[in-house]
Structure 1
Amino acid sequence: MPRHPVDEFRPLSRLVPFGLQHVLVMAAAPISSVFLVAKTLDLAPDLTVRLLSATFVLAGIGTLVQSFGPWRIGARLPFVMLPGGAPVILFLAIAQEHGVRTAVGAVILTGAFYFLALPLFSRLLRFFPGIVIGTMIVLVGVTLIKSGAQLITGKPSSPGFGDPRHLLLGLATIAFTVLLHRFLRGMARQLAVVLGLVAGTALAAALGELRFDGFGSELVTLPTPFPFGPPEFDVLAAIPLLIFALASMAEATGQTVLNAEVVGKEIDVRRDAPRTIRGDGLISLIGGFFGTSLMVTSGENIGIVRMTGVRSRYVTVVAGVVLVVIGLFAPFARVIDAIPPSVVGGTAVVVFGVIAVMGVQMLRDYDLSDHRNLLVVAVPLGLGLMPVLVPGIYDQLPPTASIVLESGVAVGAASAAVLNALFHHLRKTERSEDTVAA
């Protein structure tokens, strides 16, 4: 019986460039998350380097776990793992209010919570059919597009917001990617994303926008256990991260379905989504012992798989190895960090736009002229886009409620599941009761 394309081992001459493409597109996430933590908590340079090393190494190990899927941990799909954006903000909020060691303890508690809550969550997966997951994927794509755009422009309150040079680099990178995909053929076309990023970086060099700084002179760096000291455990302080874990499980479910659809592999959601979630939980649990925030599967690389058409999970195996190497050898991270955020943002906008379109494709399988399906999609999209389009809309609410509601993906996923149950599952129950009464 022939192997499925996702399980095929390709020649290294093909695996390596495609693996590097995944790494280059997503490498900004671990670097930016570590420097956000370092700047907010005023960490010493050597501690920042060790934290960056741990983040890259764990992202690499997590990518290998998701790609290989040993012992029912990991999806055996081409996934890459990253420190999540929302978990980093939650980690910092806990650290500022209760101390960094309590924040580390919260990460460890949340990693364990994934495994404790998974049996109950698995029973709820029937409430996450394609119409719910498609809606969630659209929200994921739109939310990520905003993140990519902010890499180009900066945040509205930041100095230099909307700098024309940065706009030029971001838009030029998008144009390079599109033109390369249009005119190249074969393997070169499949590498259009990374070639567009390289072209954008070359333009940045010509404009004097490349900078090599911020990492010191270390050649080899090793992750250090408990870099902040022994963790402190406070369940109440950990509640924001515990709540996020539930939303993360729903998002991981959607990403598993989408990834499987992109590579053309039939899966059992009730069996395979928990494998993805176990991988997230395990790497997050280990990460807590090395001072990182939660690590989650990334939707970014699914867009790359869709654009390239290269479905082998061994591509992300290579990406995982590269991430570990970057984590151990500081000069590699220094080179990647030299790529301007606006160039990475231009690449990200293309990839994230592809993700949003894939969500729309999933919704095409459902009859949206049926008012029930229409509301299951429309209301969650509205609720999920509110915090994206109107930042700070929930700032007047209590902090925990505000943090949860600010996650448009979490709100959209939860409301879509509830509405789907209301219009479809509850209706079936009512019909069966009417039949018995008759």
Structure 2
Amino acid sequence: MNAPTKADAVAPVDERVPLRSLLPLSAQHVLAMVAAPVSTVFLTAGALRLSPGDTASLLSAVLVLCGAGALVQSLGVWRIGARLPFVMLPGGAATALFLGIAEDHGAATATGSVLLAAALLLAVLPLYARVVRFFPPLVMGVTVLLIGIAMVRVAAQLIAGNGGQPAPPRAVVLAGLTVAATVTAYVLLRGVWRQTAVLIGMATGTLLAVVTGLGEFRPAAGSGFSLPTLLPYGAPHFDPLAALPLLLFSLTTLAEITGQTVLNSESAGRTPDPGRDVPRVARADALVSLVGGVFGTSLMVTSAENIGIGRLTGVRSRFVTAGAGALLVVTGLLAPVSRAVAGIPAAVVGGSSLVVYAVIAILGVEMLRRADLGQGPGQGTGSMVAALALAAGLLPLLSPGLYDGFPDWVGTVLGSGVVAGTLTAVLLSALLRGRSPDDSS
């Protein structure tokens, strides 16, 4: 009998995993990524002042969508999903922009912005190769750094509570204890447990709130199965100017998706093919985000966080992440789970959010470091592009009334630090690309 040829061998990404191993391996992926959707939902609920019942419904929607996204990306349907071991999450940066739009223009406008951004991503995919070059690491770094800075401010407001009054001391203490518990778990734990440091911090903070009286734990009423609420903020309102932050962000995700797809392909034992796979990944992101917008979430994005687990276990099968998706769908539909976590105190959520969004800011710094600012788009201009873009983005954050005397559309565009900084980075990067210091003016 002839030995199997190389062509007959099954690639690691397509290997079938026995059920007895599939369940624990899939559960590991869920544990590693569930902190992101949970913390994102609570930040959203706090910022939008949602009731515990509405919070539970939103959490149900997010978990179900995360699961559906993982299933689509892992199994693939037609040209939707790249059949790679991906999971899907509510984007932290996208949520930050969603909440900013909601604060300035209302939640219905924020929902409309999500739908517009997802539709734009679908529309530009045929032009993928042309669009992605406008968002090199330099531009991505500026965008992500500004998003992180803006969201630290929002997390601080969540700790302070409503009404613009000084933060209650007990809320600040509780948030600080939550941060300390998160950092302790991250430093002392290893492997998958280390990746759940945010969840451990939230659980510890909630326990301390109940034991010490620094806060209250009030689960939402209800039992059995929980179904997400359709259009929880009312009919979407479409305002392209107000949606600009999310529209720009949806375009910048193409660069991030490209890097993640190449990395995941290599890790899963498949020859990278960005021209084929990136549009499939982005198409799944956009379609799940369209559904998410209808159920009150921000943009859903594919995440490479689970790649480390594949390397740790040596199992790179896409059927494991598909199993994780199925577990997430079931968890999202179980009302006791979603309604229990909906009772976590706002100060605990705020403390966890401080950690999450500070990490986003640091990711922006790392992207800028990889951009090689000493070179940039024109021999030594990278530092100047980054400096001016950050200045443009920080101005409206440090001086919120700077553009009050201008027409409303100017304030809508430049009043968002993320939009102002990203536009400045894109324009300067494009203008200076290929220009050397010896070029005459």
TM-score normalised by length of structure 1: 0.73
Task: Tell me the equivalent position of 2:216.
Answer: 210
Cα deviation, residue 314, structure 1: 7.5
Bigger shift: residues 392-401 or 125-134: 392-401
From 407, 413, 423, the counterpart of 2:416: 407
Task: Tell me the equivalent position of 1:175.
Answer: 180
Deviation track 1:111-163 (CA, whole Å, cap 9, x = no partner) reads 434322443464121122222223333233333433444443447x434x422
Between the aligned partners of 2:169 and 2:273, the Cα distance in structure 1 is: 48
The 8 Å contact of residues 175 and 348 in structure 2, kept in 1 or not, is answered as: yes
Deviation track 1:234-266 (CA, whole Å, cap 9, x = no partner) reads 8xx432365344312234235435656987869
The 8 Å contact of residues 251 and 409 in structure 1, kept in 2 or not, is answered as: no
1:360 equivalent to 2:365? Answer yes
1:140 equivalent to 2:140? Answer no
Between the aligned partners of 2:140 and 2:75, the Cα distance in structure 1 is: 24
Between the aligned partners of 1:378 and 1:340, the Cα distance in structure 2 is: 38
- The 1:25–1:292 alpha-carbon spacing in structure 2 relative to 1, beyond 3 Å, is closer
Letter in 1 for 2:218: F
Between the aligned partners of 2:10 and 2:97, the Cα distance in structure 1 is: 41
Between the aligned partners of 1:268 and 1:392, the Cα distance in structure 2 is: 47
Task: Tell me the equivalent position of 1:284.
Answer: 289
Cα deviation, residue 420, structure 1: 1.2
Cα deviation, residue 69, structure 1: 5.4
User: Secondary structure at the residue paired with 2:34?
Assistant: helix
From 221, 243, 248, the counterpart of 2:226: 221
Q: Percent sequence identity over matched residues?
A: 33
Letter in 2 for 1:217: G
Cα deviation, residue 374, structure 1: 0.8
- The 1:309–1:163 alpha-carbon spacing in structure 2 relative to 1, beyond 3 Å, is farther
Between the aligned partners of 1:357 and 1:21, the Cα distance in structure 2 is: 20
User: Secondary structure at the residue paired with 1:297?
Assistant: strand
Between the aligned partners of 1:56 and 1:423, the Cα distance in structure 2 is: 43
User: Secondary structure at the residue paired with 1:80?
Assistant: strand
Deviation track 1:371-414 (CA, whole Å, cap 9, x = no partner) reads 41111211111222233333454455444443333433333222
Task: Tell me the equivalent position of 1:248.
Answer: 249
1:388 equivalent to 2:397? Answer yes
Cα deviation, residue 80, structure 1: 0.8
- The 1:376–1:110 alpha-carbon spacing in structure 2 relative to 1, beyond 3 Å, is closer
Between the aligned partners of 1:190 and 1:228, the Cα distance in structure 2 is: 32
Bigger shift: residues 130-139 or 254-263: 254-263
Task: Tell me the equivalent position of 2:164.
Answer: 158
Task: Tell me the equivalent position of 2:38.
Answer: 27
The 8 Å contact of residues 43 and 350 in structure 2, kept in 1 or not, is answered as: no
Task: Tell me the equivalent position of 1:127.
Answer: 134
Deviation track 1:244-298 (CA, whole Å, cap 9, x = no partner) reads 443122342354356569878696766665445423421233345x453543328
Letter in 1 for 2:177: A
Between the aligned partners of 2:129 and 2:12, the Cα distance in structure 1 is: 26
From 84, 95, 102, the counterpart of 2:95: 84
Cα deviation, residue 329, structure 1: 2.7
- The 1:399–1:5 alpha-carbon spacing in structure 2 relative to 1, beyond 3 Å, is farther
Between the aligned partners of 1:23 and 1:287, the Cα distance in structure 2 is: 17
- The 1:226–1:204 alpha-carbon spacing in structure 2 relative to 1, beyond 3 Å, is closer
Structure 2: 5+ residue runs without aligned partners? 1-8
Task: Tell me the equivalent position of 2:3.
Answer: none
Cα deviation, residue 33, structure 1: 3.6
Cα deviation, residue 304, structure 1: 9.1
User: Secondary structure at the residue paired with 2:300?
Assistant: strand
Task: Tell me the equivalent position of 1:62.
Answer: 69
From 357, 380, 387, the counterpart of 1:378: 387
- The 1:201–1:226 alpha-carbon spacing in structure 2 relative to 1, beyond 3 Å, is closer
The 8 Å contact of residues 177 and 196 in structure 1, kept in 2 or not, is answered as: yes
- The 1:404–1:4 alpha-carbon spacing in structure 2 relative to 1, beyond 3 Å, is farther
Letter in 2 for 1:20: L
TM-score normalised by length of structure 2: 0.72
Bigger shift: residues 306-315 or 361-370: 306-315
Cα deviation, residue 212, structure 1: 1.7
User: Secondary structure at the residue paired with 1:239?
Assistant: coil
Deviation track 1:42-82 (CA, whole Å, cap 9, x = no partner) reads x9x98887666445533443354456554443574444125
The 8 Å contact of residues 72 and 81 in structure 2, kept in 1 or not, is answered as: yes
Cα deviation, residue 28, structure 1: 3.8
Q: What is the aligned residue count?
A: 413
- The 1:341–1:125 alpha-carbon spacing in structure 2 relative to 1, beyond 3 Å, is same
Task: Tell me the equivalent position of 2:345.
Answer: 340
The 8 Å contact of residues 226 and 335 in structure 2, kept in 1 or not, is answered as: yes
Task: Tell me the equivalent position of 1:296.
Answer: 300
Letter in 1 for 2:360: I
Structure 1: 5+ residue runs without aligned partners? none
- The 1:291–1:411 alpha-carbon spacing in structure 2 relative to 1, beyond 3 Å, is same
